[in-house]
Structure formats: structure tokens, C-alpha cells
Amino acid sequence: MAEHQANDCIFCKIINREAPAAIIHEDEQIIVFADAFPSSQGHSLVVTKAHGRDIHETSEEDLQAVAVMAKRISQAQKTALSPDGIMIAQFNGAAAGQTVFHYHTHVVPRWEGEKLTIHGRKQAAPEELEAMAAKLRAVL
């Protein structure tokens, strides 16, 4: 497992099991978990294990691993949830909408008529997040 130096980084805390998360997938380079503040049902985050603030501090190997897993997660969402579309988004810097400064990609199922947002306003219940993670793990 990679070294995680950012003591105040919530994603590093999740990786180090110092903070809870509904984990969908994990391997040597990345971890995938349900967004605690989902903008829609199934909103997932694909996160590098190595701490880099943004795309500019992240290795090309980790970027590739995130991209491949984002595709796999979107396919799992399509199978498990039957959304009308899937949004894949990645932000670099506060001005671009980044709120957690550890490289990650959002994979967000979307349904017709749903307000288009990326960051949810309300924290989901842990049991709801775990149920969704289990549903996605089952088809991943």
C-alpha cells in the first residue's frame, strides 16, 4: 500500500481505515467508495491511494488505473441501477469545483428530470451507502 502523508485528508483517512466508508472496490493503486454526500443514487468516487492534490501531482499510472476503474464502475452502475446516463467528472482546484484535495473521479448515475449537480448537499445514512456499495460490488 502507498504511503499516505496528508494527515488531514479524509480520503487518506479512509484508505488507512481511520475513517469509515462504504467500499466498493480496492486494489494496490486505487480505492472506490460511495460518496458520503451523493448527488444521486450510486454516486461513487474512484480515488488514488497515493496522495496527490490533483491531476498535476498524480502519476500517469495512477491516472490510467482511475480511468479504467471509472469505466468498470459506470458499467456496474448501468447494470445494477439502469440509469438514463452516467456522468464522469474530475475537478482540479477550488475554482474548478474541487472540494477534497486528493485526486479522485466522480462516477454519477443520472436519471431524466433529475437536477444536474455533482456535489450532494445532504449526507446519506451509512447503511444506505453500504447497501448501494454491496449492490455495485455484486455486479462489478
Distance, CA of 128 to CA of 58 (rounded, Å): 31
- Side chain identity at 56, as an amino acid letter? H
Q: What is the predicted pLDDT for the residue at 2? A: 41
Distance in angstroms (rounded) separating the CA atoms of residues 22 and 6: 21
Element (H, E) at 88: strand 85-89
Instruction: Go through the domains of the chain in sequence order and give each one's CATH number.
Output: 10-139 (3.30.428.10)
Q: Determine the pLDDT at residue 127.
A: 96
Q: What is the pLDDT of residues 46-77, one digit of tens each?
A: 999 999 999 999 999 999 999 999 999 999 99
Q: Are the C-beta atoms of residues 134 and 103 closer than 8 Å to each other?
A: no
The three-class DSSP label of residue 109 is: strand
DSSP assignment string, 16-83: TTSS---EEEE-SSEEEEE-SS-SSTT-EEEEESS--SSGGGS-HHHHHHHHHHHHHHHHHHHHHH--
Q: Which of 102, 104, 106, 119 is catalytic?
A: 104
**121 or 87, higher pLDDT:** 87
Whether the model clears a pTM of 0.85, i.e. scores above it, the answer is yes
104 is catalytic: yes
